[in-house]
Amino acid sequence: MKIAITALFCAVAMITLSQKTIEGKVMDQKEQPIPFAKVKIIGKNQGTTTKEDGGFELKVNSNDSLRFSAAGFESKTIPVSGETEWTITLPSSINELDEVVVTALGLKRNKRDLGYAVQTLEGKEITEVRHPNLVNSLAGRVAGVQTTNGSSGVGSSSRVIIRGETSLSGNNQPLFVVDGVPVSNEFIANDTENLESGFHEVDYGNGMGDFSSDDIQSISVLKGPSAAALYGSRAAGGVIVIETKEGQRTDGVGISVNSSVTMEQIAFLPEFQNVYGQGSGGQFAYEDGLGGGTNDGGLVSFGPQMNGQLITQYDGPSFDQDGNPVRGGDVIARQGNPITPTPWTANPDNVRNFFETGVTSQHNIAFSGANDDGSFRLSYTRMDHEGTIPNTDYRRNNLSFTGTYDLSERLSIRAFGTFINSNSDHRPGLGYGSENVMYSFLWMGRQVNLDAAENYWQAGREGFQQFNYNTQWLDNPFFNVFENRNGFNKNRLLGNAVLSYKISENWKLRFRSGVDTYTDLRTSRRAFSTQRFPNGAYREDDVAFTEINTDLLLSYDKKISEKWNFNAALGANNFTQETRYKSLTAGQLSVPGIYNFENSKVALEASQYNSQRQINSVYGLSGINFDRFLFLDVTLRNDWSTTLPVENNSFAYYSVNGAIVFSEKLNLPEWFNYGKLRLNSSSVGADTDPFQLRNTYQFNQNYGSYPLLTNSSKLLNQNLRPERINGLETGLEMYFFQERLGLDVTVYQNTAKNQIISLPTSSASGYSSQIVNGGVIQSRGIEIMLTGDVIRGEDFKWTAFANFSKGASYVQELPEGIDQYTTGFARLYTTAENTIFYIANAQKGGRVGDMYGTGFQETEDGRIIYGDNGLPLRDNELRYLGNYNPDFILGLGNTFEYKGFELNILLDWRQGGVVVSRTRAVGSTSGVLSETLEGREDGIVGDGVVNVGTEENPVYEENTTSVSAAEYYNQFYNRANEESSTYDASYVKIRQIGLTYTFPDKWTKKMGVQDFKIGFIARNLFTWTENPHFDPELSAMQGTSQVFGVEDLSYPSTRSFGMNIQFNF
Amino acid sequence: MRNLIIIVLVASALFSCKKFDKANINQNAPEEVNPQFLLSNVLAEGADNQAYWGWHAGNLLSQHAANLEFLPVDRYNLGSNEGLWTETYRLMKDLQDVKNSEEGNRAYDAVADILTAHQASLVTDLWTNVPFYESLEAEEGNFTPIFDEQEAIYTGEGGILDLLSAAVETLENTQETIEGDLMYQGNLNKWIKFANSLRVRYLVRISDQVNVSTELQQIIDDGNIFQDVNDEAVVPYLSASPNQWVIFTEREGRYVDVRMSKTAEDILTPLNDPRMEHYYKPTANSSGGTEVYLGIPNGLSRESQNSYDLGDVSLMGSYLRDEPDGVKAAFMTYAELQFCLAEAAQKGLISGNVSTYYEAGIQGSFDHLGLTLPAGYLSQPNVILDGSNDLERIVTQKWIASFMNGYEAWFDFRRTGYPDLPLPQDNLNNDVFPVRYAYPSTEQAVNGSNYSDAVNAIGGDDYNSPGWWEN
């Protein structure tokens, strides 16, 4: 027995002696780690898997042989003996373009197999320089994608349009899909009107702006209708497919941290003049801001030159009844006591200094882990933002959980849930009028020193009467942002769960359901003495939204032979969406400062709108693939929508797409590594919004006890048919020189028929617009993507990409009974005569996005005609102003890597398109913009002619009449004259520069930290554009919708600088 | 196959159809309503338009008031006033629906016709040729109505005068009743008086073009016209929101920007007219001392205003700013009717004593405002009709009474040239008094060929193409 024990001991000892532990790393050809590669000892049931960083540890015997294998890579077998350095490089088994992308319905497909264009961003690209609004991460990075930002900074809506506007009616936003389940990117605006009274528009942000970039594994952009054919009608504008992160096996504890702080500065301000102050005809004296002095109730800046002469001003010293010092503008306390005149000097930075340095901090911590059966990930993101506009802010908390688990060999489950709270104490007012501080600035004398305005109550009238440089029309900007707040608090729950069951080797069943629900409570407070609300006001807007998507998919996948693969799937989907909107307003308050409906002095005004919509669908898809050379996919879908008339509510979609990887079969030169031709054709349908079929009357505010109802201005249509968009797309994808140079060219054509559009009509017909199935609109375009590993050195690497896109849409057929296709309009002022019409006029090319407005009377050779009074003559005839769409967009990206350093530079060039600017119209009429300096002393003789003949037989002579600058600019930049406020919207931007350094793990490991990265980010660094006053990338919001081609007193856009730290435990 | 069955079963369980059919029924607002609510709406909104536009444009074009800062209208850069165009047609649509409502109530029909006639006269008098006979046919598929001649709108079958006389006849012969009548509380006899009074207004308006004598005389003989201010077609603003007079809650600038005009000063001061102290405030510089009322010329550029001390220019009357319910929005007043009759009598279109009508008009204006007519006012040499310039005095007194009443005083000036308004020095209309708004640019954009025809017919889409009745 003893011997036996000893023998055993010796045997163990022998084994132990010949065993050793090796440590190593498995890498690909690009020296990127390969996680989860299998390391197996041949002939034994022993082995391990590599960690996320490609590293592994294994006990081996010296006579063992190890086999390294990983999906997508060729295996290698290496004997233990003789090897000391265990860094194993596995060559790619298949072409490395066999990138796996997530496509429709969350199906993971090999990119190589696809017959349509998809572009993917990895989470890393998004989080290293994360933008507060996810949508902005796409700017410049994806061909054919155009983003525009709301002007009220972080927290405002960013829009994304893929391949231009296919629809004239909808918002053209793509469908956002998280883990295969659609979610809401909608922005449900308050029920406000672009009016001279009442509450202004406020941008509370687009739905996807709530999402945390840190929870995202990848974003794929499916561009054409074909890619979207399986998602149904809401995908007509393309699809953005987001995959959330899952827990992973890690070396460390499984905690990752990503922290960034950015500072924002205003990047654009209108270019002001600083020579002449407020007043008219060179005269000004402040008395009460109501015309009691000289021109002190006026808004224009054609006053005295600012030479330091002494003039009474709103901040000049005065005294009250008791002899206490007060400011000139403390009119009530002053009781007519004189103001001591003070030097009349320019305050060039009075507007600039109003703005502050914004701060945005984003912190994320995520815990994750995984074993053979499952994984989890718990992530918390906190964002805090303080805007460049004082007292504006935005906060967000995201708590997310992802879990996966294989319940059995066949049954697996995955669930993702995120709870989001976003809130703000104040979002700035947009649009034209006194609630927008830019309005106050464009009507503010250049002599105004705003320091005095910071104490924004009149002496002795705190809470009741604001103090301001202009009491007649404007709100004190500080009063505006500190007292008149637009807050909100939004709670959102978004989640999905997937249950997959593997019926057999070939059959799979998947059940998936997702919910996206939120409530958003918005509160608007207005203090006493607000211009629009002399008695203050309080309003609440309540939005509740729920969307549920449920689907079931049965799929079949079979390798028929060595070369033939076949797959098919059949599914059904139910989509329901419910929106409830409610608004209550107390238009006058009893007691100042109490924002509660019980404090209402008047009857509350209410507004309410509830809607719901439902779509049921069945779909099927089938694909075959021959020898990794030929791929063919067919999809079919049918929808039944509640929003269409019963007899027309069913509509089908199909798509056929094919790909030929010709490089597999052709004998191409060695430098030509890969070539694929894609072709696809599709036909997709679309429904419309709820309640577009039958007219209802609108409630008006009661007259006394008489209820009032009136007609709505839009004629609905009981005979609507579904929209149809037919798409054709072909593309060529090629890689050259060891795949160092990639070229992807796509051309497409989309033909939209029966578009459901709200067409403006003659209001004399009884309605100002009608819902119709529109004519035929065709969009064509080209997208070119170029990627290159310019330098692929040992230490130094330079990769670059360029995305180019160009496209335009033209009207091919007009809707019945229409002689020109006026598809919409934007107001440049609250009155209707200052309107821009979007007219696709077939005689004049018929391009979608053509804008028409009024302008000057001109001779045949294009000279402006002047009246006898020396002022340019306008007429009411609509003329072409330009098209708001760009001619092309080019995004350029460069990444330089040296050792652990990585430098990213992203440029964006948008060429063409025009924008009509209200800043220009207002600021030039008021005389605060630099272009109004000319002719102040000597008057202006306008460049043009005078008709000295008759109207029928004009005889033109050179205009020689001189007029004052005030008169000239007032007429030249008249707000009804859109022509003189039109700018080229082209720009070149340095969108982003990021520098990241990754510390070598050996340095940081002592601290228990890995993948330690520190980054510096600069965003929106420079913009080159024609106009000196505003950022042409910003969008405008009027009433409840965003409008195109119009700049509407936008806030200055910001440039930001920040720092980012990322590491894992 | 078995899997397929499972799919179908699960799928059908998913899609319960119960809610599906009802999901698209809009339960936020009714598809059908009782006509009373539409009638109430037209009365409230239509009357509000009269006062609102009286303040914002009518008073300026008639020179009751002058503007300081926001000068387009006062300097005759009139624009199109598309807002009022759109709203007027919507109100006419409401009236069409009152008539088409299933009630089949002839009293509603007649009342709707009276208000339609009023709205139609407003659009044609502001824009000249406008869609009328083909208007409001969107539901029948006509989205591009032709523009009718002003003459046809007034005198054609189914036109303004026809609608009014037919309405009178209907109301005289119906036993049916209406509700929602926030102006006359369902008193159909008052509606008859209103209709006949409007007929007088429009007959006098077109009297330079058509011989209206017989029809006018018939109306007078029937006698069913406004008898006193209690019959007036007015809708007062209320003390409670949301029915308060708009300037009561508007920002300060909207009030102080509008001032007494020099024209008003020149007309009212020599008359020793107490209405001046009602319409305007004493100048700031004179408050506390001997109160004076001074105006500023219309249409001055901001630079030209520098020669005026605004402390010496009167603001508009306190009831227009400090009271929510001081204003009575008027479709038509008793005073106006009497001045129409005075004019008709003066021109020999009707029998009757000119001075009687004239003095009743002046008395009516004071009654309307709740003021007392001072003794001796009527016998002042510059008031009394002495046969020298009677028409001018009649229309001038009518002008005083038409303060804030929509565009009525402007229409009278365009027609009669009275009172003799000075041309604003800094006008932007080539030294011509404008006679219309430009057509809304939307018509150009969406009703292009009919728009072009109309522009050719009236002689150009500018502010100077006169209508039929003022030619």
The string of pLDDT tens digits covering residues A732-789 is 999 898 888 999 999 999 898 988 888 889 999 999 999 998 888 888 999 999 988 8
The radius of gyration of chain A's CA atoms, rounded to the nearest angstrom, is 33
Q: Please, which residues bridge with residue B318 across strands?
A: none
In angstroms, the CA A974 to CA A834 distance is 9
Residues A194, A302 share a domain: no
Residues A205, A325 share a domain: no
List, in order, residues 6 or more apart from B258 with CB less than 8 Å away: B55, B59, B65, B66, B67, B68, B315, B316
Helix, strand, or coil (residue A660): strand
Q: Is A696 on the interface with B (CB under 8 A)?
A: yes
The string of pLDDT tens digits covering residues A867-912 is 888 999 888 888 889 998 899 999 999 999 998 899 989 999 999 9
The string of pLDDT tens digits covering residues A911-923 is 999 999 989 999 9
Q: Does residue A7 carry a pLDDT above 70? A: no
Which ranges of A51-129 would DSSP assign to H, the alpha helix?
A: 123-127
Task: Using an 8 Å CB-CB cutoff, list chain A residues near B130.
Answer: 764
Cis peptide before B242 (omega within 30 of 0): yes
Map B406-452 to HEC letters.
CCHHHHHHHHHCCCCCCCCCCCCCCCCCCCCCCCCHHHHHHCHHHHH
Q: Which fold has domain B35-243+326-458?
A: 1.25.40
In angstroms, the CA A1046 to CA A167 distance is 19
A825: nearest Cα among A834, A836, A833: A836
Mean pLDDT of A456-466: 95
CATH code for the domain of A588:
2.40.170.20
In angstroms, the CA A772 to CA A756 distance is 6
List the structure tokens of A368.
């994750």
Look-up: residue for tokens 């990930």?
A377
Candidates A290, A701, A823, A876, partner chain B, best to mutate (most B CBs within 10 A): A876
Q: Strand A865-866 vs strand A945-947: parallel, antiparallel, or unpaired?
A: parallel
**Residue B128 CA to its chain's centroid (Å):** 15
**The predicted structure's pLDDT at residue A95:** 43
- pLDDT tens digits, chain B, 471 residues: what are they? 455 555 554 555 455 455 788 889 999 999 999 999 999 999 999 999 999 999 999 999 999 999 998 888 999 988 889 889 999 999 999 999 999 986 679 999 999 999 999 999 999 999 999 999 999 999 999 999 999 999 999 999 999 999 999 999 999 999 999 999 999 999 999 999 999 999 999 999 999 999 999 999 999 999 999 999 999 999 999 998 889 999 998 888 889 999 999 999 999 999 999 999 999 999 999 988 899 999 999 999 999 999 999 999 999 999 999 999 999 999 999 999 999 999 999 999 999 999 999 999 999 999 999 999 999 999 999 999 998 899 999 999 999 999 999 999 999 999 999 999 999 999 988 899 999 999 998 898 889 899 999 999 999 999 999 999 998
In angstroms, the CA B92 to CA B42 distance is 8
A170: nearest Cα among A242, A241, A105, A233: A233
Is the distance from CB of A724 to CB of A167 less than 8 angstroms? no
In angstroms, the CA A430 to CA A408 distance is 55
Residues A312, A446 share a domain: yes
Residues A454, A316 share a domain: yes
**The predicted structure's pLDDT at residue A9:** 47
Candidates A763, A822, A839, A925, partner chain B, best to mutate (most B CBs within 10 A): A763
Long-range contacts: A249-252, Cβ < 8 Å, 24+? A249/A35, A249/A36, A249/A49, A249/A51, A249/A52, A249/A369, A249/A370, A249/A371, A249/A375, A250/A51, A250/A52, A250/A368, A250/A369, A250/A1064, A251/A51, A251/A52, A251/A53, A251/A55, A251/A1010, A252/A1008, A252/A1009, A252/A1010, A252/A1064, A252/A1065
User: At how many degrees (to 10) do helices B354-369 and B390-401 cross?
Assistant: 20
Residues A241, A172 share a domain: yes
Which of B20, B43, B135 lies at the smallest CB-CB distance from A765?
B135
Q: Please, which residues bridge with residue A20 across strands?
A: A60
List the structure tokens of A247.
């827990």
The radius of gyration of chain B's CA atoms, rounded to the nearest angstrom, is 25
Look-up: residue for tokens 């149809």?
A724
Which of B31, B72, B449 lies at the smallest CB-CB distance from A694?
B31
pLDDT bin (cut points 50, 70, 90) of residue A471 is confident
Q: What is the mean pLDDT of chain A?
A: 86
Map A825-861 to HEC letters.
EEECCCCCCCEEEEEECHHHCCECCEEEECCECECCC
**The predicted structure's pLDDT at residue B461:** 92
The burial class, CB within 10 Å (0-12 / 13-18 / 19+), for A291 is: buried
In angstroms, the CA B38 to CA A703 distance is 12
Task: Using an 8 Å CB-CB cutoff, list chain A residues near B90.
Answer: 710-711, 713, 763, 766, 768
In angstroms, the CA B233 to CA A597 distance is 36
Q: Does residue A10 carry a pLDDT above 70? A: no
Hey, are the CB atoms on B142 and A767 less than 8 Å from each other?
no
Q: Does residue A159 carry a pLDDT above 90? A: no
Q: Please, which residues bridge with residue B130 across strands?
A: B148
Hey, are the CB atoms on B81 and A833 less than 8 Å from each other?
yes
Kindly report the nearest CA distance between residue A8 and chain B, in angstroms.
57
The string of pLDDT tens digits covering residues A590-625 is 999 999 999 999 989 999 999 999 999 999 989 898
Residues A320, A388 share a domain: no
Look-up: residue for tokens 């088994």?
A93
Q: What are phi and psi of A949, to 5 degrees?
A: -95, -150
Q: Does residue A97 carry a pLDDT above 60? A: no
Strand order, beta sheet including A87-89: A55-61, A19-27, A87-89
CATH code for the domain of A44:
2.60.40.1120
Q: Is B445 on the interface with A (CB under 8 A)?
A: yes
**The predicted structure's pLDDT at residue A271:** 95
**The predicted structure's pLDDT at residue A13:** 42
In angstroms, the CA A483 to CA A354 distance is 16
Beta strand ranges found along B56-195 (DSSP E) = 65-67, 130-131, 147-148
**The predicted structure's pLDDT at residue A16:** 44
The dihedral through the CA atoms of A51, A55, A60, A65 has a sign that is positive
Q: For residue A290, what is the nearest residue in chain B, using CA coordinates?
A: B256
B244: nearest Cα among A201, A464, A533: A533
Q: Does residue A74 carry a pLDDT above 90? A: no
Hey, are the CB atoms on A298 and B142 less than 8 Å from each other?
no
List the structure tokens of A305.
């030159």
In angstroms, the CA A229 to CA A655 distance is 6
**The predicted structure's pLDDT at residue A828:** 61
Q: How many CB atoms lie within 10 A of CB A9?
A: 10
Hey, are the CB atoms on B137 and A706 less than 8 Å from each other?
no
List the structure tokens of B404.
């804030």
Residues A450, A490 share a domain: no
pLDDT bin (cut points 50, 70, 90) of residue A1 is very low
Alpha-carbon distances of B7 from A389, A556, A573, A872, rounded to whole Å: 56, 13, 12, 73
**The predicted structure's pLDDT at residue A8:** 47
Output DSSP code: residue A184: -
Helix, strand, or coil (residue A866): strand
A212: nearest Cα among A494, A16, A470: A494
Looking at the domain assignment, is residue A119 inside a domain?
no
Hey, are the CB atoms on A297 and B250 less than 8 Å from each other?
no
Q: Please, which residues bridge with residue A294 across strands?
A: A285
**The predicted structure's pLDDT at residue A94:** 45
Residues A580, A448 share a domain: no
Per 3-state DSSP, chain B is made up of helix, strand and coil in percentages (nearest 5) of: 50, 5, 45
Task: Using an 8 Å CB-CB cutoff, list chain A residues near B461.
Answer: 876-877
In this complex, how many residue pairs, one in chain A and one in chain B, have their CB atoms less than 8 Å apart? 323
In angstroms, the CA A734 to CA A95 distance is 12
Candidates B446, B453, B462, B463, partner chain A, best to mutate (most A CBs within 10 A): B446
Alpha-carbon distances of B354 from B209, B349, B398, rounded to whole Å: 22, 11, 14
Q: Does residue A464 carry a pLDDT above 60? A: yes
Looking at the domain assignment, is residue A461 inside a domain?
yes
Residues A489, A456 share a domain: no
pLDDT bin (cut points 50, 70, 90) of residue A290 is confident
Is the distance from CB of B320 to CB of B347 less than 8 angstroms? no
pLDDT bin (cut points 50, 70, 90) of residue A232 is confident
Residue A321's domain comprises: 276-345+436-483
Looking at the domain assignment, is residue A945 inside a domain?
no
Is the distance from CB of A86 to CB of A648 less than 8 angstroms? no
Per 3-state DSSP, chain A is made up of helix, strand and coil in percentages (nearest 5) of: 10, 50, 40
Find the helix or strand (DSSP H, E) in which A376 lies: strand A374-386
Mean pLDDT of A953-973: 92
Q: For residue A640, what is the nearest residue in chain B, using CA coordinates?
A: B20
How long, in residues, is chain B? 471
- Residues 310-369 on B with a CB inside 8 Å of A are 310-311
Alpha-carbon distances of B412 from A49, A704, A983, B71, B385, rounded to whole Å: 96, 33, 45, 23, 19
Q: Does residue A11 carry a pLDDT above 70? A: no
Number of domains in chain A: 3
Alpha-carbon distances of B171 from A218, A906, B96, B113, B203, rounded to whole Å: 74, 77, 18, 11, 20
Q: Which of residues A836 and A498 earns the better pLDDT score?
A: A498
Helix, strand, or coil (residue A941): strand
Q: Does residue A102 carry a pLDDT above 70? A: no
Looking at the domain assignment, is residue A526 inside a domain?
yes
Residues A453, A339 share a domain: yes
pLDDT bin (cut points 50, 70, 90) of residue A14 is very low
Residues A305, A251 share a domain: no
Q: Strand A19-27 vs strand A87-89: parallel, antiparallel, or unpaired?
A: parallel
**The predicted structure's pLDDT at residue A171:** 66
In angstroms, the CA B120 to CA B114 distance is 10
Is the distance from CB of A913 to CB of A986 less than 8 angstroms? yes
In angstroms, the CA A527 to CA A390 distance is 17
Q: Please, which residues bridge with residue A158 across strands?
A: A149
Hey, are the CB atoms on B97 and A711 less than 8 Å from each other?
yes
A358: nearest Cα among A134, A158, A132: A132
Residues A503, A565 share a domain: yes
